[in-house]
A and B are shown apart, each in its own frame.
Chain A
Amino acid sequence: MSARTDTTDRPLRSYRADLHIHTALSPCASERMTPPAIVAAATKAQLDIIAISDHNSAGNVAAVQQAAKAAGNNLTVLPGMEITSVEEAHVLGLFPDVAAATDAAEELRALLPPADPDYYAHFGEQPLLESSGHTLGMETVALSAAASLDLSETVELIHSRGGLAIAAHIDRKAFGVLSQLGFFPADAGFDAVEVSRNVPAGSPRREQYAAHGLPVISSSDSHYPEEVGLAATELRLAGPGFVELSLALAGAQGRCLAHA
């Protein structure tokens, strides 16, 4: 389906979305995170929408989209990327289509150092996969590294390609904007904040993160197939797609987060 034409006049209903899932391309993720395994895990977890968000790369997004299509189910796979800012805060970028995500990823890639042979031994492999899970090649820049973009520039990079910028796992003690800065950068232009699976719906801590005035989403940040769907966001949408998601985060046209 085309992300740009995904608004419909269909009645609103609830969709279950896990918008932060890594593939084996992320050095820290399991090699078992292949496109077919992710699609199977998402289906089993009764998810309607997932986003593929590897560290500093969108290289395996299209393969997972193809795997979902081949599986013939109704799973929507949105393009994403988890960017490491120079402050070492993780920013989740969600994009309207693969071309936009790839374009942002190429700009970022030019800012990352090359991976020397020793790198893979310490950080992990970075396989680019085809939809069957077969390895096409190895990403040769260090995806574990931080590019030279600060938080505002990172958000700008995402917005410049029409994407949504989400402050990732802000409850965690490392790699979140709060752990890295000690405060929430209200002027950075984030569209939403994400909490990890350690902050369940209805917990008082969730209220604390909602106080930043942005919608709060929950994602699994899966690095293993068993983790897919362990946290998810319920959305009221007319259809499963990027534009509908954008409307929900903006609280526009009746679209919204179903709770919290």
Chain B
Amino acid sequence: MRLQELVNVLALEELTPHIPGRAPGGGQAGGADDRQDDPDITRGYASDLLSDVLANAPTGGVLVTLQVHLNVIAVAGHAGLQAVIFSSGRRPEADVIAKAAEEGLILFSSPADTFELTGRLYQLGIRGSGA
């Protein structure tokens, strides 16, 4: 599913500035594919333990987490995730958002809790790591 569709259906608040032509995941430079701007998301992961995210989150996926610490950005970047949704209305500090923008990682906040968000993502066809 295209990211923008997820954003619309789940009414996610985008925290990072929306940059047209942004490279997907991990900050790698890509071609002039329209997917750069609106990446396809098929996998997701929900965890608040960063070591678990690092080891098990599916590349190219979306992460749902309560953690808003700066290390989330490093971990998500290293795991090759495309987007992070902070649940229960949590919002990171400005320096965390700036770092994510630098890394090409898209951040969202939602008032819904982690259970609610992952359930709705699953309904939309997003699946887990497949393990």
Contact = CB atoms under 8 A, between A and B. Distances in A.
Contact of B78 (A87, A88, A122, A146): A122
Given A144-B71, A174-B67, A175-B69, A88 B50 contact: yes
A123 B51 contact: no
A123 B54 contact: no
Contact of A145 (B51, B68, B70): B51
B49 interface: yes
A149 to B, nearest CB: 12
Contact of B74 (A86, A87, A122, A146): A122
Interface residues of B, number: 14
Given A88-B50, A88-B51, A123 B69 contact: no
B51 A146 contact: yes
B77 interface: yes
B77 A174 contact: no
B59 to A, nearest CB: 12
Nearest to B73: A122
A209 interface: no
A118 B78 contact: yes
A122 B54 CA distance: 12
Contacts of A86: 51
A173 B75 CA distance: 18
A123 B78 contact: yes
Interface string B47-72: 00111001000000000000111110
Contacts of B68: 173-174
A79 B74 CA distance: 28
Interface in A170-220: 173-175
Contacts of A145: 51, 54
Interface string A103-124: 0000000000000001100110
Contacts of A88: 49-51
Nearest to B80: A118
Interface in A102-154: 118-119, 122-123, 144-146
Contacts of A173: 68-69
Contacts of A118: 78
Interface in B66-106: 67-71, 74-75, 77-78, 103
Interface in A64-96: 86-88
Contacts of B54: 145
Nearest to A145: B51
B69 A119 contact: no
A118 B78 CA distance: 7
Nearest to B76: A122
A258 to B, nearest CB: 32
A119 B77 CA distance: 10
Most buried by B among A119, A122, A123: A122
Interface of A: 28, 86-88, 118-119, 122-123, 144-146, 173-175
12 contacts: A28-B70, A28-B71, A86-B51, A87-B49, A118-B78, A145-B54, A173-B69, A174-B67, A174-B68, A174-B69, A174-B71, A175-B69
Of all A-B residue pairs in the complex, the 6 with the closest CB atoms, nearest first, are: A174-B69, A122-B78, A146-B51, A122-B74, A122-B77, A123-B74
Given A28-B71, A123-B78, A146-B50, 19 more contacts: A28-B70, A87-B49, A88-B49, A88-B50, A118-B78, A119-B78, A122-B74, A122-B75, A122-B77, A122-B78, A144-B71, A144-B74, A145-B54, A146-B49, A173-B68, A174-B67, A174-B68, A174-B69, A175-B69
